[in-house]
Amino acid sequence: MSDDALFAAVMDPANRADPYPLYARLRERPVSRQRDGSYVVSTHAAIRSLLFDPRLSSEDLPPPRRPRTGNPLKDLILNPIKNRISATHRPFIFRDPPDHDRLRSLVMREFSIARVQALRPRIAQEVDALIDACRGRGEVCLVSDLSYPLPVTVICELLGVPRADEPRFQAWATQLATAVEPDARHDDATRRQIVGAFDEIAAYMGDLIREKRRRPTDDMLSGLAAPGPGGRKQMSDFDLLSTAVLLLVAGHETTVNLITNAMLTLLRHPEELERLRADPERAPRLIEEVLRYEPPVHFRTRKALGTITVAGETIPKGAPVILLFAAANRDPSRFQAPDRFDPDRGDIEHFGFGGGLHYCVGAPLARIEAEIALVALSRRLVAPRLAVDPPPYRPGASLRGPEELRIGIDGTA
């Protein structure tokens, strides 16, 4: 395989279970031009040098394009207006400063550490209830039994979204998650599905926001929808909609992968599972090593706003750029024995939650959810073992994690 086809191989589902040999090949050239004209950045030093570079833009989504309906009013007037609004008011992870910074600061004010820490008892209660529901069974599926329902329940309560509506937005969230996959962006059918899913979930969130303004409660969505100083809106209605959709979708997608990847790694390293069972205080450092070793997000895409020279390679203006975080996390020039899972290693400067201006706003919550879940699983699952290894993986290469993780057990403690 030639070097300029390596990222295409990363995108191939056949390599989803173990993309790391491909990442090792890519690291041989820290910045590698691919056949499609994109530039893959794969070493720790090169990515770190670019994270705060203003010449690298997050506004790299293709223009939204709603399909023709045959209705002249919709095709010539309404849909072009909707397309312009969608392009201008994208979720803030696809925005650059100053818009990104303004919207992110409003979200961070509501997503406070105090609010997140206060959720600990509720998270522990939910984890125990989910494990209790597995009593009497000889096998569990971690994804459907715990690592999906837990973060969905938590983000719904945090935002003030009725948990009973989860079946409605599950399909929307799954579809919208494909927006971070480069191949999906250039497939017309998938793009239409993404736009359709966004319109449907935005209509749902719009109704919910109006209800929050009429009857505010103590949740994040009520806080974001509330008037700011002088009675002015804190953000436009369109920005509020895209922010609410982002928080609902991103608020659980990466955490599902984090918990599942962590348990898969522990079951492949049973001595570490035993150490966690004996000493729950190990959980935080174990999670940091999982974020390095098997991160929930493997890469993010950017666009060069100007010519950028990094690691001896020149990236031309307008070129797509792929920051391959998971490859950098196993860079031997940064980490000793990087392919070894070692929670006791020091200085784990990983890119498990990205980095720079777009560092994941939900990282503290994801860490808490994973910590509580893993400690409970280590203590309550009796003789857990993998039923299938490797497990089947979700389609996406960016948000990488098992679609299901079947675990044989001898019961629950």
What tens digit of pLDDT does each residue of 274-316 get?
Answer: 999 999 999 999 999 999 999 999 999 999 999 999 999 999 9
CB distance 146 to 264 below 8 Å: no
Distance CA 341, CA 105 (A): 35
DSSP letter, residue 180: G
Q: 32 lies in a domain?
A: yes
CB distance 408 to 267 below 8 Å: no
Give the CATH number for residue 53: 1.10.630.10
Exposed (0-12), middle (13-18) or buried (19+): which is 105, by Cβ within 10 Å? exposed
pLDDT at 151: 94
Q: 222 lies in a domain?
A: yes
CB distance 111 to 220 below 8 Å: yes
Helical residues (DSSP H) of 335-387, grouped into ranges: 363-380
CB distance 67 to 192 below 8 Å: yes
Q: What percent of the chain is helix, strand and coil (3-state, nearest 5)? A: 55, 10, 35
What is the average pLDDT across 247-266? 93
334 pLDDT higher than 90: yes
Q: 104 lies in a domain?
A: yes
Which residue segment(s) compose the domain that 261 sits in?
Answer: 3-406
Question: Could you give the percent of the chain with pLDDT greater than 70?
Answer: 100
What is the average pLDDT across 372-387? 98
CB distance 194 to 176 below 8 Å: yes
- For the ranges 173-177, 216-220, 251-255, 379-383, the lowest mean pLDDT is seen at 173-177
> 117-138: buried (b, 16+ CB within 10 Å) or exposed (e) per residue?
eebeeebeebbeebbeebeeee
Q: 39 lies in a domain?
A: yes
| 169 — pLDDT class (breaks 50, 70, 90) | confident
What is the average pLDDT across 68-75? 85
pLDDT at 316: 97
State the pTM of this model: 0.93
Q: 153 lies in a domain?
A: yes
- For the chain, the maximum distance between any two Cα atoms, rounded to a whole number of angstroms, is 67
What tens digit of pLDDT does each residue of 184-213 get?
Answer: 777 778 878 888 888 888 899 999 999 999
Three-state SS at 336: coil
Residues 6+ apart with CB under 8 A from 72: none
Question: Could you give the percent of the chain with pLDDT greater than 90?
Answer: 79
Q: 256 lies in a domain?
A: yes
Count the domains in the chain: 1
Q: 412 lies in a domain?
A: no
pLDDT at 173: 82
CA 362 to each of CA 21, 142, 161, 253, 255: distance values in angstroms, whole numbers, following the listed order = 30, 22, 17, 11, 9
Q: 40 lies in a domain?
A: yes
> Which strands form 406-408's sheet, in the order they lie side by side?
139-141, 406-408, 385-386
